[in-house]
A and B are shown apart, each in its own frame.
Chain A
């Protein structure tokens, strides 16, 4: 009995996939390289059994890219790791993964290691830890080659290594072979990782968030290289990401995962044109669009992604779904075609309604009340200045090697940066890693007397602060929110103590603190009954809300935000952005928003300062900077943002900043492959 059902679904999966033709490459043809059927993975943990992957089916074709999209905990990475047999020992894997007809599940680690690196290879998220610091780039490339081809001669290996490095766009490959990973930048290292991955002409390349750890401009280049690598090897690529912009530009087919299952599957253009599962709609709608002005508020998907140890009954998305009915809470829908004759699969009980009424994001997620204009009462120029930074300079000594660490020179991290923030306004400080934006933030937070220039907080210069009391007084009005809510809340302290800490430091009494904590919890939307819980009992988004509550505890006038939403799930981000916007209107706080995500900045900020190598290269009104950038670096930065729209993404030409000039990105790719 079970045999017959599994064969029919097998046929169905393949049949529908062959209909997925609404993309740049058309529908797949021929036999798939890999077939995954009824893949299930579960883990044993203290909290119970975690069902990380539940009945996932897909096929891979050479030359095509399957994008697996999902938030953290959706099971996307576990799916990828189970293809290559790299899961922990306590994982229970069942189902079937066939590579050219050969069953991989059940193979021993030894048997799998013959396949790994040769026929299936993997690109990991963090290039910093993917390469061994002890060996040169050449040695590591050679290792990858020699393990699977022990007969290769030294000359052959060297020739192939040079060929591979040229392919991934590393200049001067002959000399670079002897370099060590620490001599390479993050982007260069990821290129080397890609070179290692394609060294043996694999059939399948699995890229697990290959660009998440990289800067936007580098990310765009790496995605280009990945395409080159695919063209060269003819491999099928599995691209795992949470970033819909990345998928839009690279994938042919997309599978959206939620709570360990595929909830929607379609060709790239179909998915973006007509998302039909409420979760996919919400995900696409809740992302701020970098290429459009922010006229509407984002509508977040309420609630949090479920824990895989306690997946809700029925449709796992039902607790967060605006369309959920009783049926959704009882039975889990199957992944079925939206329309006969089309390869668009959707898992939703309300599929027919969505199809027949052509429901879109705007229908499913009702719009929020527009925000009150910020400058309602007083024009901007007349508002008091909250923060003024003038010609700020911060240098770090560069120390020489050896016993006596003589200072060899100085590195200028912040070079004459100036900006002002008025009451109730948001200034975004944008830049890539190493641009000096975080150093600037820390200079302000530390309330130091700068090497050069001045920092004036609420009319008080930092050089005028005499003692600890003056500083503490000022700290009440100046608070910070960090990027990672996992590390910004002490795991050993219940939420009550977390929120009480800034108030105790300001010398509040017990009863006042008690009252204030209740207010704060309500303000950021956390149930005040949860004060006795520990941070680990909250989701990432809730933790960031708690961090915001803590920063707001003393009613500060100025809030410094260090990439406050970068580490949050996509569906949660919109909620936090809205909360920050609400709070600004309610409390008239000013924000200094440090970020690298330009889409979010366009949405939230009033003015933008673009930092590059310690200098502010462009400073002005947000819409002005986005629509009419003046500085070449700003132009390059804007053109590198991945846009969550496959048609826009395919047609636009990216620009790259090189030595003060702009050049088209395609000129950087290896000539033979253009």
Chain B
């Protein structure tokens, strides 16, 4: 025993700690952060429904053209303005174009525009917003002034002009660029506000005092720690992207023939609302389903990231049930034993 003590005495504090660590309590069950979020996400039924719907829509947009006999570019002149039937699943429009082919292509277009817009917007706003917050002093003042000035620009008009100048096949790219060019400003402002509290964190100061360059601090410390907000923002941004695209196309300022999108089909169908209502109804329903699914996913993500949400789950219930069951069993056994004795 004494020998043991003497040995201990010669160890440094660090070595003692290592020993304690090795003999420490059993490994605590840990879940990785991503795993935790996924678990909380999938615990919510509505979020899972949203994800399923989105998956189906994406599959439809990718594989739809292969299962349909018609292409969205070649009309079937034998069937003009026919209601949905076995040959034309969604019917045809006034030009004889198969509506299923058009909707599937339009859906793909809308999804691509929505996703690209959301990712670009989030990336730009994250970098600009955090950089302005991190700059402090004059940099911050000038940055904020610029953002405020950009918000004043009549973006709708500019986007419309840019897209009009582009050709029909390239129009959707210009539309994405136009939307993104003005879409990030508002988000950048909110993200700056979020970054204001992050920039005061000790790890940011520590990195600065180590001599880490500013760009690295922004990319390595500030943006990743806004991660949860960025993910939710991106998802909700998809909705606003799709909605803007639809609105521009409906007004004839976005997607133009020969290309097609959900908004374009709607604008074409709106003139024949009474005689051929399916031309408006079907793309509207698809659009609504798409937006609702994204919204459900966004909601689910927010609850998954929020530590105080109802997504926390009821882990203990099983155990307390078990306890109760055990007690009940014990009581029953006791009674049985008692009765036997009697």
Interface residues of A (CB under 8 A from B): 1, 42-49, 90, 92, 300, 302-304, 306-307, 309-310, 312, 319-320, 366-369, 445, 471-472, 475-476, 478-480, 482-484, 487-493, 501-502, 504-506, 522-527, 534, 537, 545, 547, 550, 554, 575, 578-579, 582
Q: Does B139 contact A (CB under 8 A)?
A: no
| Complex CA–CA separation, A303 to B23 (angstroms) | 9
| Complex CA–CA separation, A445 to B210 (angstroms) | 10
| A504 CB → nearest B CB, Å | 8
Give the residues from 23 to 62 in chain B that come closer than 8 angstroms, CB to CB, to chain A.
23-26, 28-31, 33, 36, 39-40
Are A550's CB and B312's CB within 8 A?
A: no
Partner of B20, one of A43, A303, A366: A303
Partner of A505, one of B14, B210, B225: B210
| A91 CB → nearest B CB, Å | 10
Are A488's CB and B24's CB within 8 A?
A: no
Are A319's CB and B23's CB within 8 A?
A: yes
Chain B interface, number of residues (Cβ within 8 angstroms): 52
| Complex CA–CA separation, A319 to B15 (angstroms) | 16
- Specify which chain B residues have a CB less than 8 angstroms from the CB of A475 in the assembled complex: 209-211
- Specify which chain B residues have a CB less than 8 angstroms from the CB of A501 in the assembled complex: 207, 210, 212
Partner of A524, one of B14, B201, B225: B14
Are A46's CB and B313's CB within 8 A?
A: yes
Given A366-B5, A487-B203, answer yes or no on A42-B16 (Cβ-Cβ < 8 Å): no
Given A47-B29, A525-B15, answer yes or no on A471-B334 (Cβ-Cβ < 8 Å): no
Q: Does B315 contact A (CB under 8 A)?
A: yes
Are B211's CB and A506's CB within 8 A?
A: yes
| B290 CB → nearest A CB, Å | 32
Are B8's CB and A49's CB within 8 A?
A: no
Are B225's CB and A369's CB within 8 A?
A: no
| Complex CA–CA separation, A537 to B31 (angstroms) | 10
Partner of A302, one of B17, B25, B31, B315: B17
| Complex CA–CA separation, A367 to B10 (angstroms) | 10
Are A46's CB and B312's CB within 8 A?
A: yes
| B222 CB → nearest A CB, Å | 10
Q: Does B224 contact A (CB under 8 A)?
A: yes
Are A491's CB and B225's CB within 8 A?
A: yes
| Complex CA–CA separation, A582 to B29 (angstroms) | 33
Given A482-B205, A505-B211, answer yes or no on A492-B313 (Cβ-Cβ < 8 Å): no
Are B12's CB and A487's CB within 8 A?
A: no
Partner of A490, one of B209, B210, B213, B221: B221
Are B203's CB and A42's CB within 8 A?
A: no
Are A579's CB and B14's CB within 8 A?
A: yes
| B149 CB → nearest A CB, Å | 21
Given A44-B317, A46-B315, answer yes or no on A310-B25 (Cβ-Cβ < 8 Å): yes
Given A92-B320, A525-B14, answer yes or no on A302-B211 (Cβ-Cβ < 8 Å): no
Partner of B206, one of A478, A550, A554: A550
Q: Does B18 contact A (CB under 8 A)?
A: yes
**Interface 1/0 per residue, B224-268 and A, CB below 8 Å:** 110100000000000000000000000000000000000000000
| Complex CA–CA separation, A504 to B31 (angstroms) | 29
Given A44-B313, A46-B313, A366-B5, answer yes or no on A488-B203 (Cβ-Cβ < 8 Å): yes
Partner of B316, one of A42, A471, A554: A42
Which of A1, A300, A368, A547 is the most central at the interface, judged by chain B CB atoms within 10 Å of its CB? Answer: A368
- Specify which chain B residues have a CB less than 8 angstroms from the CB of A48 in the assembled complex: 29, 315
Partner of A487, one of B15, B18, B202: B202
Partner of B13, one of A303, A309, A525: A525
Q: 7 A-B Cβ contacts within 8 A? A: A44-B313, A47-B31, A48-B315, A366-B8, A369-B10, A475-B210, A493-B220
Q: Does B342 contact A (CB under 8 A)?
A: no
Are B209's CB and A480's CB within 8 A?
A: yes
- Specify which chain B residues have a CB less than 8 angstroms from the CB of A522 in the assembled complex: 14, 18
| Complex CA–CA separation, A369 to B8 (angstroms) | 9
Which of A43, A46, A550 is the most central at the interface, judged by chain B CB atoms within 10 Å of its CB? Answer: A46
Are B13's CB and A44's CB within 8 A?
A: no
- Nearest-neighbor residue (CB-CB) of A94 within chain B: B320
- Specify which chain A residues have a CB less than 8 angstroms from the CB of B209 in the assembled complex: 445, 475, 478-480
Are B9's CB and A366's CB within 8 A?
A: yes
| Complex CA–CA separation, A487 to B202 (angstroms) | 6
- Nearest-neighbor residue (CB-CB) of B311 within chain A: A46
Known contacts A490-B224, A506-B211; 8 further A-B pairs (Cβ under 8 A): A44-B312, A44-B315, A49-B316, A482-B206, A488-B202, A502-B210, A505-B211, A527-B18
| Complex CA–CA separation, A303 to B30 (angstroms) | 19
- Specify which chain A residues have a CB less than 8 angstroms from the CB of B10 in the assembled complex: 369
| B181 CB → nearest A CB, Å | 30
Are A367's CB and B9's CB within 8 A?
A: yes
| B170 CB → nearest A CB, Å | 39
- Specify which chain A residues have a CB less than 8 angstroms from the CB of B313 in the assembled complex: 44, 46
Are B19's CB and A302's CB within 8 A?
A: yes
- Nearest-neighbor residue (CB-CB) of A581 within chain B: B13
- Nearest-neighbor residue (CB-CB) of A522 within chain B: B14
Are A482's CB and B202's CB within 8 A?
A: yes
- Specify which chain B residues have a CB less than 8 angstroms from the CB of A523 in the assembled complex: 14
Are B207's CB and A525's CB within 8 A?
A: no
| Complex CA–CA separation, A526 to B39 (angstroms) | 30
| Complex CA–CA separation, A43 to B316 (angstroms) | 8
**Interface 1/0 per residue, B307-340 and A, CB below 8 Å:** 0000011111101100000000000001000000
- Specify which chain B residues have a CB less than 8 angstroms from the CB of A490 in the assembled complex: 203, 220-221, 224-225
| Complex CA–CA separation, A45 to B14 (angstroms) | 33
Given A42-B316, A489-B203, answer yes or no on A310-B22 (Cβ-Cβ < 8 Å): no
- Specify which chain B residues have a CB less than 8 angstroms from the CB of A492 in the assembled complex: 224-225, 227
Are A505's CB and B212's CB within 8 A?
A: yes
Are A582's CB and B12's CB within 8 A?
A: yes
| Complex CA–CA separation, A220 to B71 (angstroms) | 84
**Interface 1/0 per residue, B189-217 and A, CB below 8 Å:** 00000000000011101110111110000
| Complex CA–CA separation, A491 to B315 (angstroms) | 25
| Complex CA–CA separation, A376 to B181 (angstroms) | 68
Are A90's CB and B13's CB within 8 A?
A: no
| Complex CA–CA separation, A300 to B19 (angstroms) | 13
Which of B16, B22, B36 is the most central at the interface, judged by chain A CB atoms within 10 Å of its CB? Answer: B16
- Specify which chain A residues have a CB less than 8 angstroms from the CB of B17 in the assembled complex: 302-303, 525-526, 545, 575, 579
| B211 CB → nearest A CB, Å | 4
| Complex CA–CA separation, A445 to B211 (angstroms) | 11
| Complex CA–CA separation, A184 to B248 (angstroms) | 57
Are A303's CB and B315's CB within 8 A?
A: no
Give the residues from 277 to 293 in chain B that come closer than 8 angstroms, CB to CB, to chain A.
none
Are B9's CB and A306's CB within 8 A?
A: no
Are A312's CB and B18's CB within 8 A?
A: no
Given A47-B29, A90-B312, A471-B211, answer yes or no on A582-B14 (Cβ-Cβ < 8 Å): yes
Are A45's CB and B203's CB within 8 A?
A: no
Are A1's CB and B334's CB within 8 A?
A: yes
- Specify which chain B residues have a CB less than 8 angstroms from the CB of A42 in the assembled complex: 316
Given A45-B315, A505-B212, answer yes or no on A480-B206 (Cβ-Cβ < 8 Å): yes
**Interface 1/0 per residue, B94-136 and A, CB below 8 Å:** 0000000000000000000000000000000000000000000
- Specify which chain B residues have a CB less than 8 angstroms from the CB of A504 in the assembled complex: 212
| Complex CA–CA separation, A582 to B319 (angstroms) | 47
Are A472's CB and B312's CB within 8 A?
A: no
| B319 CB → nearest A CB, Å | 6
| Complex CA–CA separation, A312 to B334 (angstroms) | 31
- Nearest-neighbor residue (CB-CB) of A478 within chain B: B209
- Specify which chain A residues have a CB less than 8 angstroms from the CB of B33 in the assembled complex: 534
